Amino acid sequence: MKLAIFSPSNNALTETFIQAHRNIPGMEISFYFCGVEHTQLEGKGFLLDLSLKTRIKKKISNKLAKHKLTATEEAIAESFQTEGVECVLAEYGPSGVDILPIVKALKIPLVVHFHGYDAARYDVIEELGEKYKEMFDYASAIVAVSKVMYQKLLDLGCPKEKLILNTYGPHTDFAKVEAKHVHQHFVGLGRFTDKKAPYYTILAFRDVIEEFPGARLTLAGDGPLLEVCKNLVRYFDMEQFVKFPGPIQREDFIEMLKTCRAYVQHSLTPGSGDMEGTPLSILEAQSAGVPVISTNHAGIPDVVIHDETGLLCDEHDVKTMTEHMKTLLAIKNLAGKMGEKGKIRVREKFSLEKHLSKLAEVINNTDS
């Protein structure tokens, strides 16, 4: 099937789950990005520029005028026709809303993949709640990545028969890792944003080094709270214990996972209502055989089983997170036992192959 993936961006570092969708089996994919107003087709450039050139060169008539599309929407529609697009996969709910007039005009099936904030943030729901209902009505399927998100989409009016629960799968490179857990090293990876609360991870670790002065923490990534976190580390004189390498590649993350004690992330729901979907980095760590210390938030408990594959605490409970870090440092072989159980669980329930195969099944069923 000829599938168009419609994404807000083309950022391979921060949206590896979207990049993975390029490999949905049985699909010939055209990748569109940068939203409706500035849409680009990978390998061909800005669609509005291409559309105008085509009109001048071929003097084509506008068959889409009766649908009252904007110039940019017409350019996307014409590109879909040129590429022979048979189905559109919209990444994030707002992208589904943006592309809806176009797929309606062309009578192309639409699958919308929600990822996190798009089903949770109060301002997004207030702005797009009614438009979501129109999108739900037209779409062939709506994909959620956690049980919490599944329920939120039901509450927003998505028909249950259209709603699919399909958690992400980590890249196969992580399953090849044989984690040793030999260092007193905790690793976190992700955007420095409110919902990931990296400052709580730092505060939890601060009390760890009083008892385990050999412990170290690495928080990779960037974002609006990075400088705040650096200042916090500086204020508490922890610079020799905490490192911020910035954005890293998959290979760098894998190297850290080979020897670290655990992966750490204190996800929570901030005042904006924003939430995680199911953090891919947590799945990647578990796939590598590394236990996870995190929170009872969004899709995290779907993946991490407390006291079996990792240790969870409630949101904002910094004290318990500290104790969980100390536990994995103090009890010999506990990290290895939890990590192995997590590795098996991800392989059996959350593989990338399962995730992509399920998406392929959903997209192929839009014809039926």
- Of 149-153, 315-319, 363-367, the poorest mean pLDDT is in 363-367
71-74: long-range contacts, CB 8 A cutoff, minimum separation 24: 72/36, 72/37, 72/39, 72/47, 72/48, 73/36, 73/101, 73/102
pLDDT at 159: 98
pLDDT at 58: 45
User: pLDDT digit string (tens) for 339-349?
Assistant: 999 999 999 99
For CATH 3.40.50.2000, the residue range(s) in the chain are: 2-168+351-367, 172-349
Residue 37: phi, psi to the nearest 5? -70, -25
Q: State mean pLDDT over 52-70.
A: 55
User: pLDDT digit string (tens) for 6-59?
Assistant: 998 776 545 788 889 999 999 999 999 988 888 889 888 888 765 555 543 444
Paired with 306 in beta bridges are 310
> pLDDT band at 140, cuts 50/70/90?
very high
d(CA 163, CA 147): 11
Q: Which two tokens stand for residue 344?
A: 């098996």
Which residue type occupies 257? Answer: L
d(CA 210, CA 142): 48
CB 224 within 8 A of CB 299: no
Q: Give the list of residues 6+ apart from residue 268 with CB closer than 8 angstroms, or none.
A: 195, 197, 200, 295, 297, 315, 316
Q: Is the pLDDT of residue 61 over 50?
A: no
User: pLDDT digit string (tens) for 175-223?
Assistant: 999 999 999 999 999 999 999 999 999 999 999 999 999 999 999 999 9
Which residue type occupies 149? Answer: M
pLDDT at 65: 55
DSSP designation for 304: P
pLDDT at 123: 97
User: Average pLDDT over the chain, rounded to whole?
Assistant: 93
- Of 60-64, 170-174, 266-270, the poorest mean pLDDT is in 60-64
pLDDT at 44: 87
> pLDDT band at 63, cuts 50/70/90?
low
- The CATH number corresponding to 2-168+351-367 among 1.10.1040.10, 3.30.565.10, 1.10.3720.10, 3.40.50.2000 equals 3.40.50.2000
pLDDT at 71: 83
> Is CATH 3.40.50.2000 the classification given to domain 172-349?
yes
Q: State mean pLDDT over 310-327.
A: 98
Which among 255, 319, 266 is positioned nearest to 292, based on CA atoms?
266
Q: State mean pLDDT over 153-172.
A: 97
DSSP string, 217-285: EEEE--STTHHHHHHHHHHTT-TTTEEEEES--HHHHHHHHHH-SEEE------TT----SS-HHHHHH
d(CA 304, CA 311): 8
> pLDDT band at 64, cuts 50/70/90?
low
Q: Is the pLDDT of residue 72 over 50?
A: yes
Q: State mean pLDDT over 296-309.
A: 97
Residue whose structure tokens are 């005009």: 105
pLDDT above 90 covers what percent of the chain? 84
Q: Give the list of residues 6+ apart from residue 360 with CB closer than 8 angstroms, or none.
A: 24, 25, 26, 27
Q: Give the list of residues 6+ apart from residue 342 with CB closer than 8 angstroms, or none.
A: 285, 286, 287, 289, 290, 291, 292, 304, 308, 309, 310
d(CA 359, CA 166): 8
User: pLDDT digit string (tens) for 99-129?
Assistant: 999 999 999 999 999 999 999 999 999 999 9
